[in-house]
Every structure is written in structure tokens, then in C-alpha cells.
């Protein structure tokens, strides 16, 4: 069988054809998927993408799924994984009720679920307020967060710990000359640094707006959210049939869990906050 993993990031399997915006490992093909999928019609038995679709605007997402349909062979399987809007909304309502009833534990959960719901759509810099929350020294509801986000939350929390350990103040009087020397070196040796310095001088206060615009178009922010009804409706509109919601370990794909894309070797779920849905391309 021929397998295609789109927007794979650093989570890919060598038995698959893996595509990402930038190459993230040996054999990973670099390609901008907003321009289409770079393979002929009927090329793959399986097309899979995880936490990718929500980064496309709603109208572009439909075109992208039609591209997935195009490269699938008849009876081929499309597996789509996205953040589960329904579960986020239900958790928000539970947190709202319990926090309003006076629970301090759920007050912290309420604060985080709002970040989970909104931060990746409104943030203007990488990581946003969610990263700031996970980087803080004392996280009052770490178990709740890890249960929702899985290993990614663990990795961010650990990254925050290492960052605190490695942080060294660099604005003390004795190292100001060294910092100035470093800036001069970057200006002389790096064209991009010179360009940005000139842009900053020309634009003044408007330079920050340029930076925000660049980030908003970088692909990190979420452009839309899906639940089991809206995603199934969209897959059907694109021509798929036998559409079904699965768990992380269930699939039409033979021996699915052996690839460890949605699950870890110990059986735990990689992204527990996800909606897993599949459809099949008709035989004719």
C-alpha cells in the first residue's frame, strides 16, 4: 500500500511518503500545500493529516480536501485529525459551571480552556499566551493540561523548565559593551539583519504591525475549528463515503497503531484533544 502523510512535522513514518512545509527529517518532502498536493491522480491508498486542516481558511480547507480525494485511489482511505471543537466546548461549559460554583481547581481549568479555545486563533506571536501559561514555574492544573494535550504539553512544560534554568540576565552594565559588539557583528555579517534594521528605521512604530502580519501569515494560527458534524459534512461534500468517527487507535487502515502516528508505543494517545475521522473514496 502507498501511504501519504501531509503536514507531518516531526511525526512521520519511513514507510510513508511524508510532506511538510519545510523538510523536518530525512526523506521529508518540502512543499507548500496551499498550492496543491504534488502527486498525480489515484496515487495513494491512504492519505493522512493531523492538526493541519484547521490552519487553512474554511474555503481553502475544502479545496485541500478535494486535493486529498484526487490523489486517493478508488477505495482509498482519508484520515483527518483536528482539534475537537465539541469536546473543547463541553469542557469549557463544565469549567464555567464549576468555577462559578467556587471551585479553585476548576477556576484554573477555566482559564486554560479559554486559552485552548481562543489563543491559537488570536495570537500575534509564536506560542502565544498558551506557551506563556505552560512556561510558568508553577502550573496549578498540570494534570488537567497533560490529560487534554498529551505529550506536547509535557514537552512544552519541560522546555519552560529548561529555559528558566538556562536564563542569564544580559542587561547588566558589565556586559552592555559585549551586547553592542554582537549587534554590530550581526549588522555587518547578516543581510537579513541589515534589512530588518533598515525596515525598522523606515517604518518606526509600524514595524510591529509588519511583524504581526508576517506571523499571522506564517501558518501557525488556527483559521477554523471542526466538530464531528461539520467535518463529516465537509468530507461528504468532497465525495467521500462510509464516513466515521474513530478513536486514536481505531482505523480502516490495516495495522494502524503500528505506525505510531496518533498513538505512542505504550498505547497512549499523542493528541488526546483530537477528533479522528475517516472516509473512503468510492470505487467508481
Residue range 132-184, pLDDT digits in tens: 999 999 999 999 999 999 998 999 899 888 888 887 555 455 555 555 555 54
* Residue whose C-alpha cell is 491522480: 41
> 256, 250 in Cβ contact below 8 A?
yes
Residue ranges of domains in the chain, CATH in brackets: 3-84+226-280 (3.40.50.150), 86-166 (no CATH), 173-215 (no CATH)
Helices 151-166, 142-149: axis angle to 10 degrees equals 130
Cell representation of residue 68: 486529498
- Per-residue model confidence (pLDDT) at position 250: 98
> 61, 234 in Cβ contact below 8 A?
yes
- Measure Cα distances from 58 to 87, 222, 240 in Å: 20, 10, 18
- Per-residue model confidence (pLDDT) at position 202: 79
Q: How many residues does the chain have?
A: 284
Bridge partner list, 17:
4
| 43: DSSP letter | -
Rounded CA separation 97/91 (Å): 10
Count Cβ neighbours within 10 Å for each residue of 24-45 and write b for 16 or more, e otherwise: eeeebeebebeeebebeeebbb
Helix (H, G, I), strand (E, B) or coil at 283: coil
Please name which of 50, 45, 55 lies closest in space to residue 19, comparing C-alpha atoms.
Answer: 50
- Measure Cα distances from 235 to 69, 128, 219, 280 in Å: 9, 31, 22, 9
> 280, 242 in Cβ contact below 8 A?
yes
Rounded CA separation 139/29 (Å): 38
- Per-residue model confidence (pLDDT) at position 168: 58
Rounded CA separation 157/143 (Å): 11
- Per-residue model confidence (pLDDT) at position 186: 52
Of the CA atoms within 13 Å of residue 213, those in its CB half-sphere come to: 5
Please name which of 162, 1, 247, 71 lies closest in space to residue 278, comparing C-alpha atoms.
Answer: 247
| 269: DSSP letter | B
Cβ burial, residue 68 (10 Å; 0-12/13-18/19+): buried
- Per-residue model confidence (pLDDT) at position 256: 98
Of the CA atoms within 13 Å of residue 184, those in its CB half-sphere come to: 6
> 8, 20 in Cβ contact below 8 A?
yes
Q: Could you read off the pLDDT tens digit of each residue along the chain, which spans 284 residues?
A: 899 999 999 999 999 999 999 998 889 999 999 999 999 999 999 999 999 999 999 999 999 999 999 999 999 999 999 999 999 999 999 999 999 999 999 999 999 999 999 999 999 999 999 999 999 999 999 999 999 999 989 998 998 888 888 875 554 555 555 555 555 445 445 667 667 777 787 778 888 898 889 888 888 999 999 999 999 999 999 999 999 999 999 999 999 999 999 999 999 999 999 999 999 999 97
* Residue whose C-alpha cell is 501511504: 3
Rounded CA separation 60/34 (Å): 8
Cell representation of residue 3: 501511504
Rounded CA separation 196/71 (Å): 41
Amino acid at each position: 500500500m502507498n501511504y501519504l502523510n501531509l503536514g507531518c512535522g516531526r511525526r512521520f513514518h519511513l514507510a510513508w511518503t511524508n510532506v511538510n512545509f519545510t523538510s523536518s527529517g530525512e526523506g521529508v518532502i518540502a512543499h507548500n500545500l496551499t498550492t496543491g498536493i504534488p502527486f498525480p491522480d489515484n496515487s495513494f491508498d491512504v492519505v493522512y493529516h493531523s492538526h493541519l486542516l484547521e490552519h487553512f481558511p474554511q474555503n481553502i480547507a475544502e479545496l485541500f480536501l478535494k486535493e486529498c480525494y484526487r490523489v486517493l485511489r478508488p477505495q482509498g482511505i482519508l484520515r483527518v485529525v483536528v482539534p475537537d471543537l465539541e469536546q473543547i466546548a463541553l469542557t469549557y461549559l463544565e469549567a464555567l459551571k464549576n468555577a462559578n460554583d467556587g471551585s479553585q481547581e476548576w477556576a484554573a481549568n477555566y482559564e486554560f480552556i479559554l486559552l485552548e479555545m481562543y489563543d491559537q486563533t488570536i495570537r500575534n506571536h509564536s506560542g502565544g499566551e498558551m506557551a506563556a501559561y505552560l512556561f510558568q514555574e508553577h502550573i496549578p492544573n498540570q494534570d488537567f493540561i497533560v490529560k487534554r494535550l498529551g505529550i506536547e504539553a509535557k514537552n512544552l512544560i519541560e522546555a519552560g523548565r529548561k529555559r528558566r534554568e538556562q536564563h542569564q540576565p544580559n542587561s547588566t552594565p558589565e556586559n552592555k559593551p559585549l551586547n553592542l559588539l554582537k549587534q554590530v557583528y550581526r549588522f555587518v555579517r547578516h543581510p537579513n539583519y541589515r534589512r530588518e534594521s533598515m525596515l525598522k528605521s523606515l517604518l518606526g512604530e509600524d514595524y510591529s504591525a509588519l511583524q504581526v502580519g508576517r506571523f499571522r501569515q506564517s501558518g501557525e494560527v488556527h483559521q477554523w475549528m471542526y466538530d464531528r458534524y461539520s467535518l463529516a459534512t465537509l468530507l461528504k461534500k468532497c465525495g467521500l463515503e462510509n464516513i466515521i468517527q474513530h478513536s486514536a487507535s481505531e482505523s480502516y487502515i490495516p495495522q494502524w497503531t503500528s505506525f505510531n502516528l496518533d498513538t505512542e508505543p505504550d498505547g497512549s494517545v499523542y493528541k488526546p484533544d483530537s477528533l479522528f475521522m475517516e472516509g473512503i473514496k468510492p470505487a467508481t
